[in-house]
Amino acid sequence: MDLRLNGRTALVTGAGKGIGLATVAALTDEGMRVVAAARTVTPELADLEASGAIAIPVDLAIPDGPAHLVEAALTELGELDVLVNNVGGGDGDLTGGFLSCGDEQWARVYELNLFAAVRTTRAALPSLLRRGGAVVNVSSNGARIPHAGPVPYTTAKAALTAFGKALAEEFGPQGVRVNTVSPGPARTAMWESPDGYGARLAASLGLTREQLVAALPATMGMTTGRLVEPAEVAALIAYLASPLAASTTGADHIIDGGAVKTA
């Protein structure tokens, strides 16, 4: 299917691995010019530069990081047609429950999972308004089932989901569409890294990481019986970014193998 994205421009955050990396690959495959932002430019991201990606290292948890990133993206691309707010995480050491999380941990998680998107969107919106562009925020199904993960992380994602709906209402009449994609457990570093959240959670439960990940689909009620693949999420993001989704805005698209049972 031709998504009619050829020649358009995009900024993708959190692009060094996982869903962000897969999104950069999906958009460049459609002929887009993409600025790919990551705290660390990974070898996998560097490999995509031959396909039209421009890798920019940046820490979006720093308050002025998003503005500097958007300025650099506009210098490289001219204008922005699409913004994908994918950067997130910071939940790797949040396995001890609510009472183990102090103000510093809450602030760090919200900076990365909410305020990075707020600041990047604020900086990018003038260009998106000029282009009649689209924003896709990557949240989590944990926003719908906040007990299923660390409280700072799931509540930050719930705020991100509400942020997207509010933006869609305000800027839809001005030609900018805003949608949210909410994956369930995906085959990313969060679960597969030896020092990620999954590994720490497994250790706290007396399990190996492999045992925890193998049991995760059943534990989470994923009727597909497997983790979500990053490329599956990226394909949904690419569609929502495209003119084919011109009447889709203000929506939260769950992609979690059936884990969330409510409508």
Residues with catalytic function: 153
Residue showing tokens 């562009």: 133
Residues 138, 141, 143, 146: what is their CA dihedral angle, to the nearest 10 degrees? -140
Task: Decide if 24 contacts 36 (C-beta within 8 A).
Answer: yes
Task: Decide if 70 contacts 102 (C-beta within 8 A).
Answer: no
HEC per residue, the chain? CCCCCCCCEEEECCCCCHHHHHHHHHHHHCCCEEEEEECCCCHHHHHHHHHCEEEEECCCCCCCHHHHHHHHHHHHHCCCCEEEECCCCCCCCCCCCHHHCCHHHHHHHHHHHHHHHHHHHHHHHHHHHHHCCEEEEECCHHHCCHHHCCHHHHHHHHHHHHHHHHHHHHHHHHCCEEEEEEECCECCHHHHCCCCHHHHHHHHCCCCHHHHHHHHHHHHCCCCCCCECHHHHHHHHHHHHCHHHCCCCCCEEEECCCCCCCC
Sequence letter at residue 57: P
